[in-house]
Amino acid sequence: MRWWFKAGLEWWLARVPGGLALHSQLRTRQGELANPEAGSRFDNALWILEQTRPLVDSFESLRVLELGTGWIPAIAVSNMLCGARVETFDVECLVKPRLLQLCLQGIQRRLPQIAETAGVAEQVVHDRFELIANDLDFHSVAEKLGGSYCAPGDTRDLPHDDNQVDLVLSSLVLAQIPLELLDKLLGETLRVLRPGGVAIHRVYLADEYSRSDPNRSDLEFLKYSDKQWNRFFNHSLKHINRLRHAHYVEKFARLGFETLWLRKQFETPSGPQFSAERAAPEFQDLPAEELSIVSFQVALRKPMTTSSTPRTQQSAADPLDTDPSHTAGTPAHG
Residues β-bridged to residue 168: 65, 199
Question: DSSP code of 310?
Answer: P
Q: Which amino acid is at 92?
A: E
Please state, as a whole number, how many other Cβ atoms lie within 10 Å of the Cβ of residue 1: 10
Please report the sign of the dihedral spanned by the C-alpha atoms of residue 286, residue 211, residue 168, residue 54. negative
Please state, as a whole number, how many other Cβ atoms lie within 10 Å of the Cβ of residue 104: 21
With a cut of 50, list the residues of the chain below it in pLDDT: 307-334
Q: How high is the pLDDT of residue 33? A: 81
Q: pLDDT digits over 90-130, tens only?
A: 999 999 999 999 999 999 999 999 999 999 999 999 999 99
- For the whole model, what pTM was predicted? 0.90
The Cα 227–Cα 84 span in angstroms is 43
Q: How high is the pLDDT of residue 328? A: 42
Q: How high is the pLDDT of residue 2? A: 86
Domain ranges of the chain: 3-301
Cα(first)–Cα(last) distance of the chain, in Å? 20
Q: pLDDT digits over 242-267, tens only?
A: 999 999 999 999 999 999 999 999 99
CA-nearest of 71, 64, 66 to 93 is: 71
CATH of domain 3-301: 3.40.50.150
